[in-house]
Chains A and B, each alone.
Chain A
Amino acid sequence: AQSVAQPEDQVNVAEGNPLTVKCTYSVSGNPYLFWYVQYPNRGLQFLLKYITGDNLVKGSYGFEAEFNKSQTSFHLKKPSALVSDSALYFCAVSADRGSTLGRLYFGRGTQLTVWP
């Protein structure tokens, strides 16, 4: 079965510092991995994804994520946090085969707060 774990409900960082939001996954087959961001009272916005290829994926708003197959992780990172990055972040996984092809499984979300 496919599943995603986001071990931290909240992450707090100071503006200008690097940030990391953690995600680990379990999937049958090769994983497709995604990060989405949700601002208050808004829908989910796609940030970036890993399908295949380079393990370091760059996305919108200066975010990047590193796929680590041995650790089954896909942590979201940004070198220098902005107050405007404060939002709820979701990691999601899909598999490249099987009956659940195309279905996304989400983590519970991590609330990122960047203080000035």
Chain B
Amino acid sequence: DAGITQSPRHKVTETGTPVTLRCHQTENHRYMYWYRQDPGHGLRLIHYSYGVKDTDKGEVSDGYSVSRSKTEDFLLTLESATSSQTSVYFCAIRSLGDLGTDTQYFGPGTRLTVL
């Protein structure tokens, strides 16, 4: 599964606390993505990275920040968690190559509950 791990896998936190989710990949992919999955919405892009220290916003970036100081790690931070950020968070990498191999592969997900 493209060597992607996410930590923690489950987290319960309280409103107003900071939370950091970690995505780690072992195959040196340049592009990494953070999505959230909510019923009735499918997956929506939060932020993505196209290299070390190069990041950009997705469609639902408010309340989230990211950092990528190493190729293998992409961190998602909720500075002050709110109940609306209760969701399942997925990290993905983009596998690039010859035409026909541009595909995103996903990690196992982190289930976050904000009380």
Contacts and interface: CB of A to CB of B under 8 A. Distances in A.
Interface of A: 4, 32, 34, 36, 42-46, 49, 51-52, 90, 92, 94, 102-104, 106-109
Contacts of B41: 108
Contacts, number: 48
A103 B48 contact: yes
- Interface size class for chain B? 20 to 34
B112 to A, nearest CB: 14
Does more than half of chain B's interface fall in helix, strand or loop, or is it mixed?
strand
Contacts of B33: 104
Interface in B1-57: 1, 31, 33, 40-45, 48
Contacts of B90: 43-44
Given A52-B99, A90-B42, A43 B58 contact: no
Interface in B76-115: 90, 94, 99-100, 102-109
Contact of A103 (B45, B107, B108, B109): B45
